[in-house]
């Protein structure tokens, strides 16, 4: 009889873990509290406007294709996407504009024309970011950081021999200012700290490697929108025999001594040989393992930023905008100081506008657009959101109209709003933090929860709140690490934990 694995949560990492573990010969059953798969990577409609509810950036698509190949299927039969020629459009209120083209030579020419930065300067900066990535990908992304076998590998020692390259004792902002100097370009590259919910004025300089993922691998738009990523993987898992149970909220992880035995749902026991939690690690301990001594140092780390998202149906087309658009704050340091230190809303926020109808026409009526409008906010429930949302909406609309030089408010004909408390309610992300913990500490990567339990031999963790972090590629990699951990456990070769 096959050994059974229960996965708590059908987020993108939980689905990916189910595919990988099923391929290893385990009988896998996934329990999801929501009535749909995908977690944050889901979708909904308002009238004739379709919206991707959560993540809107798709890069490194080979991690999705890899799951189909693992099951002997051609990904192009079930999942397709297009590479964007224009990765993002950037806007500043002083009138500066920048098109971040996927073609590097075209991009370098654009930066020189619009911002006066020579290609030589930017090439050196991008090459250094690539070097950081190449030296650390095995350590930080593809393996558990919490095994001696990783920390004392040849590749780790090689990386440590070039420690100054990582610039961990400088902030990302300090690194960008020293290398790039031009303030608009510095602000643009500082933005990549938000990819893991952090501040560029606190996160270390090694984080220049984040933008390498986008500039090197490019950005993509899936046919059918972002939700088709989770939808296609969910259907793949089903074809492979994974069982999904929706509207099934796990109440407790059952255990005896150093082994978990399964889960409890509405008073019913579901036994398993191993359990994988795709739930945020904080509520996993607080809600599902309430009697267990929790890793308080890990759980008390600073949370990442959250977001306030306006989903707007717009009865007009804006040709000046593309799929991804950023409208920058005029005072970036103050924005992050307000979010992470004062833990308040900043009234001149940087605004991200995603419009999938630019590439997926069926997402809005002809001549209309579906706007996903997001601003960064502190995580937590300490704000009076009922009072703050209408006020912030006024500031957001005013800023968009100033920057674009066009009226927007009269064209909003449909609206839905997602706030941090709703994010927490819908996804169990503690305090609504989008990426679990922030990376504002230079040791943050080592302080993230590992993909395995130190207390139980058969309890594992995947998803954005654990190693290696948030975002679609890293969540998929967390599932791969869990799968590798299973192999090590099966072969009786698990090395001592750090």
Each residue of 69-104: pLDDT tens digit?
999 999 999 999 999 999 999 999 999 999 999 999
At 269 the pLDDT is: 98
Q: In whole angstroms, what is the distance from residue 31 CA to residue 229 CA?
A: 19
CB 8 within 8 A of CB 279: yes
177 pLDDT band (50/70/90 cuts)?
very high
At 490 the pLDDT is: 55
Burial class (CB in 10 A: 0-12, 13-18, 19+), 152: exposed
Q: What backbone phi and psi angles, to 5 degrees, belong to 367?
A: 80, 0
Q: Give per-residue pLDDT as tens, 44-67.
A: 999 999 999 999 999 999 999 999
Average pLDDT over residues 309-338: 98
Question: What is the DSSP track for 153-190?
Answer: SHHHHHHHTTGGGG-TTSBHHHHHHHHH--HHHHHHHH
At 491 the pLDDT is: 42
What is the longest distance spanned by two Cα atoms in the chain? 67
Non-local CB neighbours of 28 within 8 Å, separated by 6+ positions: 4, 5, 6, 7, 18, 21, 22, 237, 241, 242, 243
CB 321 within 8 A of CB 183: no
Average pLDDT over residues 121-125: 96
Nearest to 71 by CA among 272, 232, 221: 232
In the chain, pLDDT over 70 holds for what percent of residues? 93
496 pLDDT band (50/70/90 cuts)?
very low
Q: Give per-residue pLDDT as tens, 451-479.
A: 999 999 999 999 999 999 889 999 999 99
Nearest to 257 by CA among 488, 8, 457, 450: 457
Q: What backbone phi and psi angles, to 5 degrees, belong to 358?
A: -65, -30
Average pLDDT over residues 229-239: 98
pTM: 0.94
Name the more confident of 16 and 144.
16
Q: Which domains, ranges and CATH numbers included, belong to the chain?
A: 4-35+246-298+436-490 (3.50.50.60), 43-102+218-225+305-434 (3.90.660.20), 105-215 (no CATH)
197 pLDDT band (50/70/90 cuts)?
very high
Helix (H) or strand (E) holding 328: none
At 155 the pLDDT is: 60
At 152 the pLDDT is: 52
At 498 the pLDDT is: 39
Average pLDDT taken over every residue of the chain? 92
Helix (H) or strand (E) holding 238: helix 227-239
At 167 the pLDDT is: 86
CB 372 within 8 A of CB 357: no
Q: Give per-residue pLDDT as tens, 266-280.
A: 999 999 999 999 999
143 has a pLDDT exceeding 80: no
At 216 the pLDDT is: 84
At 493 the pLDDT is: 39
497 has a pLDDT exceeding 50: no
236 has a pLDDT exceeding 90: yes
Q: Strand locations in 145-273, DSSP E?
A: 220-222, 243-245, 252-256, 259-265, 268-271
Angle between helices 227-239 and 62-70 (to 10 degrees): 10
Average pLDDT over residues 16-35: 97
CB 213 within 8 A of CB 454: no
Q: In whole angstroms, what is the distance from residue 56 CA to residue 227 CA?
A: 9
495 has a pLDDT exceeding 60: no
438 pLDDT band (50/70/90 cuts)?
very high
In the chain, pLDDT over 90 holds for what percent of residues? 83
383 has a pLDDT exceeding 60: yes
Q: Strand locations in 283-437, DSSP E?
A: 306-314, 324-327, 351-354, 369-377, 412-418
């Amino acid at each position: 009889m096959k050994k059974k694995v229960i996965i708590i949560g059908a987020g993108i990492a939980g689905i990916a873990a189910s595919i990988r573990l099923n391929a290893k010969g385990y009988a896998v059953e996934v329990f999801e509290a929501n009535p749909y798969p995908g977690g944050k990577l889901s979708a909904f409609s308002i009238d004739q406007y379709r919206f991707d509810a959560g993540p809107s950036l798709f890069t490194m698509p080979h991690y999705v294709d890899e799951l189909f190949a693992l099951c002997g299927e051609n990904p192009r039969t079930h999942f397709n996407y297009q590479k964007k020629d224009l990765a993002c459009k950037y806007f500043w209120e002083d009138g500066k504009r920048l098109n971040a083209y996927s073609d590097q030579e075209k991009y370098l020419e654009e930066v020189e024309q619009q911002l006066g930065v020579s290609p030589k300067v930017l090439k050196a900066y991008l090459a250094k970011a690539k070097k950081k990535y190449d030296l650390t990908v095995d350590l930080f992304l593809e393996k558990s950081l919490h095994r001696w076998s990783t920390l004392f590998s040849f590749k780790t020692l090689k990386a440590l021999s070039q420690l100054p390259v990582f610039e961990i004792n400088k902030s990302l902002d300090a690194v960008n200012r020293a290398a790039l100097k031009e303030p608009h370009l510095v602000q643009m590259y500082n933005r990549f700290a938000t990819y893991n919910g952090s501040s560029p004025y606190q996160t270390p300089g090694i984080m220049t490697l984040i933008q390498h993922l986008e500039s090197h691998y490019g950005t993509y738009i899936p046919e059918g929108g972002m939700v088709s990523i989770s939808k296609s993987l969910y259907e793949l898992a089903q074809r492979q025999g994974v069982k999904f149970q929706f509207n099934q909220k796990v109440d407790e992880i059952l255990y005896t001594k150093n082994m978990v035995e399964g889960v409890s749902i509405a008073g019913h026991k579901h036994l398993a040989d191993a359990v994988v939690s795709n739930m945020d690690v904080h509520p996993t301990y607080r809600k599902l393992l309430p009697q267990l001594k929790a890793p308080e140092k890990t759980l008390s780390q600073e949370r990442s930023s959250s977001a306030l998202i306006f989903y707007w149906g717009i009865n007009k087309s804006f040709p000046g905008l593309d799929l991804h658009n950023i409208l920058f704050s005029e005072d970036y340091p103050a924005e992050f100081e307000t979010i992470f230190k004062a833990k308040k809303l900043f009234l001149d926020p940087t605004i991200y506008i995603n419009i999938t109808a630019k590439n997926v026409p069926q997402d809005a009526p002809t001549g209309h657009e579906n706007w996903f409008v997001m601003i960064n906010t502190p995580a937590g429930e300490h704000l009076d959101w009922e009072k703050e949302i209408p006020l912030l909406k006024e500031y957001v609309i005013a800023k968009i109209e100033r920057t674009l030089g066009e009226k927007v408010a009269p064209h909003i004909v449909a609206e839905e709003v997602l706030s941090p408390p709703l994010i927490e309610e819908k996804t169990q992300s503690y305090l609504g933090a989008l990426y679990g913990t922030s990376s504002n500490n230079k040791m943050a990567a080592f302080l993230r929860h590992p993909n395995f339990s130190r207390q139980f031999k058969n309890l594992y963790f995947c998803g954005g709140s654990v190693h290696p972090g948030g975002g679609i590629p890293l969540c998929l990699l967390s599932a791969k690490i869990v799968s590798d951990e299973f192999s090590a456990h099966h072969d009786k070769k698990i090395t001592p934990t750090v």
